[in-house]
Amino acid sequence: MSEHVLHVASFFAIVSSLVLLSVFFAPWWLVNDDHHPNETFQRLGLWTACFKDANVSHTESSTQCSWIYFDDLSKHNITIPAFFTVTQALFTLCVVFLILISLPALTRYFYVLEGERSKINLLFIISGCLIFSGTIYFITIYCC
């Protein structure tokens, strides 16, 4: 097994984990397209919902964001559909497995493993977690 392949695999595992973590906490999963200017809804993330502040005039722009389960969304006439809850659960599972991938990759960088067999075992663990996480991600995005 080439050292170059292990470095590339570790690099992509870390980069994909960082990108996925930023998407996990981003409030821009669903955004208002401004075709309805009187609409208070602005954007919806996996964990946050943002609405225009009703106390501010229309010339100013003020958006209030809050955690989905903390704020009473019924006052904005929004309910969380079942598929969104499933998406949250599966995407959380995907993030957990990507973190499990990043830890062996970081361990490989900081505590260089001795012997070819241990490096191959690490590569199999990382590959298995990536395949499992990718499958969950595919199901979350395309089937829910």
Residue 94 and residue 136 in contact, taking contact as beta carbons nearer than 8 Å: yes
Per-residue pLDDT for 91 more than 80? yes
Joined together, the tokens standing for residue 109 give: 């960088």
**Residue tagged 């505590």 (tokens):** 111
pLDDT average, residue stretch 2-11: 74
Residue 77 and residue 113 in contact, taking contact as beta carbons nearer than 8 Å: no
Per-residue pLDDT for 12 more than 70? yes
Would you place residue 113 in the very low, low, confident or very high pLDDT band (cuts 50, 70, 90)?
low
Name the pTM for this structure.
Answer: 0.63
pLDDT average, residue stretch 93-113: 72
Spell 63-74 as b/e; 16+ CB within 10 A means b.
eeeeebeebebe
Would you place residue 73 in the very low, low, confident or very high pLDDT band (cuts 50, 70, 90)?
low
What pLDDT, on a 0 to 100 scale, did the predictor assign at position 52? 77
What pLDDT, on a 0 to 100 scale, did the predictor assign at position 15? 79
Task: Write the class of the CATH domain 3-143.
Answer: mainly alpha
